[in-house]
Amino acid sequence: MRLSMTSDLWWKNAVVYCLDIETFADGNGDGIGDFRGAIQRIDHLDRMGVTCIWLMPFFPTPDKDDGYDITDFYNVDPRLGTLGDFVEFMRVARDRGIRVIADLVVNHTSDQHPWFKEARSSRDSRYRDWYIWSDKPEPDDPKGVVFPDKEDSLWEYDEKTEQYYYHRFYRFQPDLNTANPEVQDEISRILGFWMELGLSGFRVDAVPFLIEQVTDSGDDLPDPHEFFACLRAFLSRRDGSAILLGEVNLPYPDLVKYFGNDLGDELTMCFDFISMQRTYLSLAREDARPLAAALRERPSPPRDSQWATFMRNHDELTLDKLSDSEREEIFAAFGPDKDMQVFGRGLRRRLPTMLGGDLERIKMVYSLLFSLPGTPVLFYGEEIGMGENLEIEGRLAVRTPMQWTPHRNGGFSDADPAKVSIPMPKGDFGPEKVNVSAQERDPDSLLAWITRLIRHYRDCPEFAWGKYTVLDTGVDAVFAHRAACDGETVVAVHNLGDAETEVALTLEGFDSSKVLTDLLVDGRIEIDDSGRVGFPMGRYGCRWFRASAPETAPADSADPS
């Protein structure tokens, strides 16, 4: 594919890296990560090949929900730096050719936000209708309580004004009334402000909850899709290349509506929660069929839209779109202890610990991630195989400080360890054994492997841009697919099982005039005249092939002379 084509829609084959400023690097020695520390670590991301940084919330906050309870959408939390530090971070990232997006958390505010303080001061407050109020708590659907370990209702009584306010999440996070045109205008101003400071877009938090019917007032709410279309139009007017990446954990038929159906005029990208959950079911069973079925079912996004693929994010590993029995299979395989589970629907573990530290298997899973149709998203620390700390409550178990070195505080901070408020994992996944410094020197490390995968992923835009087909392999444990675009074809094959096997594929449209060249290791495989090709797959093996004529095939590393 021509770079002049792929660079226009940069996000279609980007490599997105999610990081939390608070836990990434401490630049002033107070035990808390900050923008100055993150600036000094951007070259790590540049060397890996990351093309887009996604920043978790860095705004002023009481920090009751790890920064998602915001008191000021137009500033930086003083613990993390200043607006000047943010701008310098943006400048350094831009100098390395890395774009930056940030969380857009406008479903709710903190109850300490000046808007809410004013709103609850009087029923006549000008900000009263910026939130959702009712004289009585509306009937709750127990399934609608997002955090059942902390909340048992979606309504909280306000004694001063003698009404209930709505909160989809925690009671200290009152929901904004995003149906209010004034609130919608304010959201646009928030986008515009940060775009002027250099952001290339936003990851939109809790998309399905942004506009929802929660009272029986009879008022007709605006169409949420009209809201997102207006938001996207505003974004595009300010910067035609900026994106909205949506957290939309819904079944595919409901999810695709947030792309704007065939128009593609709402969210630019959506996370593929369905394929992620089916991937873990396939890993637990060592059977590729659940993942293959998900990708066969997955609808194609509009032409200028994209799926975002991931293996882990900053929340619990949600398994809510699986059946109870399927979820129990994954719990049994990867989180059998109750302490490893959360909310009855997910796991609070990172991938390497779930896989028992099996490096071959871990490498295979990330090879799978980077070859799946879509744009891969990494959570900080995945590149070195960080583990979780189950001593930390809830979802925060996976949000431990980045492990840079084997030394004090894992190189995250030079503060007295007592000042580092978030403890790191210990044992086999502690910084003494898992850190960037050691893996940079090891050509067989996970960091070296992911850096290699990123390079090959960027060399194979067909995975992101092409039309994909799930292939029959004849082996239940083996997943294979091909992606084609502009006359070019790549094929990826992954063995999810721990036994060696032989794989036979039929590649329609190919004959003996083409060969398959392995992109991850040296080697070339012949295709017969019927398009059939066979080859061995090792335990948790992975192979990426490019189909081409022999005279144009990529060269082996050995000198042909």
Q: What's the rounded Cα separation, in Å, for the pair 114 and 103? A: 20
The helix/strand/coil state of 197 is: coil
Mean pLDDT, residues 515-524 taken together: 93
Contact indicator for 313, 103 with CB cutoff of 8 Å: no
Confidence band of 2 (pLDDT split at 50, 70, 90):
confident
pLDDT tens-digit map of 151-206: 888 999 999 999 999 999 999 999 999 999 999 999 999 999 999 999 999 999 98
pLDDT at 553: 87
Mean pLDDT, residues 395-416 taken together: 97
Q: What's the rounded Cα separation, in Å, for the pair 47 and 34? A: 21
Mean pLDDT, residues 137-143 taken together: 69
Looking up tokens 């004694």, which residue turns up? Answer: 159
Q: How far apart are the first and last CA of the chain?
A: 31
Question: Strand 488-495 and strand 542-548: pairing?
Answer: antiparallel
pLDDT tens-digit map of 63-91: 999 999 999 999 999 999 999 999 999 99
**pTM (predicted TM-score):** 0.96
pLDDT at 4: 73
Amino acid found at 461: P
pLDDT at 561: 44
Give yes or no: 205 in active site. yes
Active-site residue, from 247, 266, 272, 316: 247
Looking up tokens 């942004």, which residue turns up? Answer: 210
Asked whether residue 261 carries a pLDDT value surpassing 90, the answer given is no
Give, in degrees to the nearest 5, the angle at Cα 35 between 33 and 39: 110
Count of Cβ atoms closer than 10 Å to residue 382 Cβ: 24
Q: Considering the chain, what is the average pLDDT of its residues? A: 94
Looking up tokens 């299979």, which residue turns up? Answer: 329
The token duo for 215 is 């009272």
Alpha-helical runs (H) found in 42-180: 42-48, 83-95, 114-119
pLDDT tens-digit map of 262-292: 889 999 999 999 999 999 999 999 999 999 9
Give yes or no: 8 in active site. no
Question: Strand 163-166 and strand 243-246: pairing?
Answer: unpaired
Q: Which residues contact 393 (CB under 8 A, 6 or more apart)?
A: none
Angstrom distances, CA of residue 102 to CA of 54, 270, 325, 335, 527: 5, 15, 36, 31, 46
Asked whether residue 464 carries a pLDDT value surpassing 60, the answer given is yes
Count of Cβ atoms closer than 10 Å to residue 338 Cβ: 9
DSSP assignment letter at 456? H
Strand partners, 533: 505
The token duo for 373 is 């149709």
Active-site residue, from 22, 205, 272, 383: 205
Confidence band of 517 (pLDDT split at 50, 70, 90):
very high
